[in-house]
Amino acid sequence: MNAAAYRISPALAQLHENNYPVIDLHTHLKGGLTLDDVIRRFHRTGINAGVAVNCGLGFAITNDAGIDQALAELRHPLTFTAMQAEGREWVELFTLPAVARFDYVFTDAMTIRNPAGKRMRLWIREEVEVGEPDAFMEQLVASTVAILDREPVDIWVNPTYLPDVLAGDYDRLWTPERRQRVIAAAVRNQVAIEINARLRLPTARFLREAKAAGARFTFGTNNGGRDDLGNLEYGTEMVRECGLKWQDFWVPGLNPTRSQRALAAGQRQIIAP
Ligand SMILES: [Zn+2]
């Protein structure tokens, strides 16, 4: 590839020079995007990737055999391979040894149950029953903390996402006390917090507080297809705005994943009994 074919933005070049892990750890092969495209992006832009497969109820992968097949197809020496654990049922669908085969595992708090037991995907308007906003927030924060405490994931992605109907009130609803509770849960469980390029979440204020509390961060896009991958613009903005150092970032492979640690400790189920 000749020099003209490279399109490494000045902001990304600066991250590379300063030892930041320039990896989009939330890349999906959706909308026709192929592993070859992801490798080409790496060569062209300098952004490496973790390619994540969605695993859970209602998704393409619902059992260990599906994990085996995905890993056989997607493992590549230049990229990482990740499990996006979906919904809350995933802990019943897979075994811990299968989950521990991934380079890392992540989840979000976008599928939760309300006090009446209704399963809600927060990005699907028809499923969301918000009711009184502050009561909903308490439930969302409690669910997020329970996920980070119980589920053996390495990254909390799409962090602090709110359903459309509440998103306009984000700054009021994510009170200091609520921010503090989810940040503390991430820190005590050593779960990294994604800086999500597509949703532009979480906010600079949240990231500064999380950094002060000792959290680690990752870059991620959560692309829906081929055309919305971008160049991690929000992440590079937040590095600058919040003074994040390379040491503030989490990278796969530095330490065993949470599921690998649980397995090594003799745990046999995804959730310790
Ligand atoms: Zn995703």
Tens digit of each residue's pLDDT (9 = 90 or more) over 217-267:
999 999 999 989 989 999 999 999 999 999 999 999 999 999 999 999 999
3-state secondary structure of 20: coil
Domain positions in the chain are: 21-264
H or E segment and range at residue 252: none
Distance 4 CA to ligand 1 centre (A): 32
What residues does 195 pair with on adjacent strands?
219
What pLDDT, in 10s, does the model give residues 139-188?
A: 999 999 999 999 999 999 999 999 999 999 999 999 999 999 999 999 99
Distance 234 CA to ligand 1 centre (A): 17
Distance 218 CA to ligand 1 centre (A): 14
Among residues 162, 188, 193, the alpha carbon closest in space to that of 175 is found at: 162
Distance 244 CA to ligand 1 centre (A): 24
pTM: 0.96
Above 80 in pLDDT, residue 91?
A: yes
3-state secondary structure of 138: helix
Distance 1 CA to ligand 1 centre (A): 31
The percentage of residues in the chain with a pLDDT greater than 70, rounded to a whole number, is 98
Say whether the peptide bond before residue 273 is cis (omega within 30 degrees of 0): no
Q: Which residues are in the CB-under-5-Å shell of ion ligand 1?
A: 84, 222
Distance 70 CA to ligand 1 centre (A): 16
- CATH fold of 21-264: TIM Barrel (3.20.20)
Distance 251 CA to ligand 1 centre (A): 18
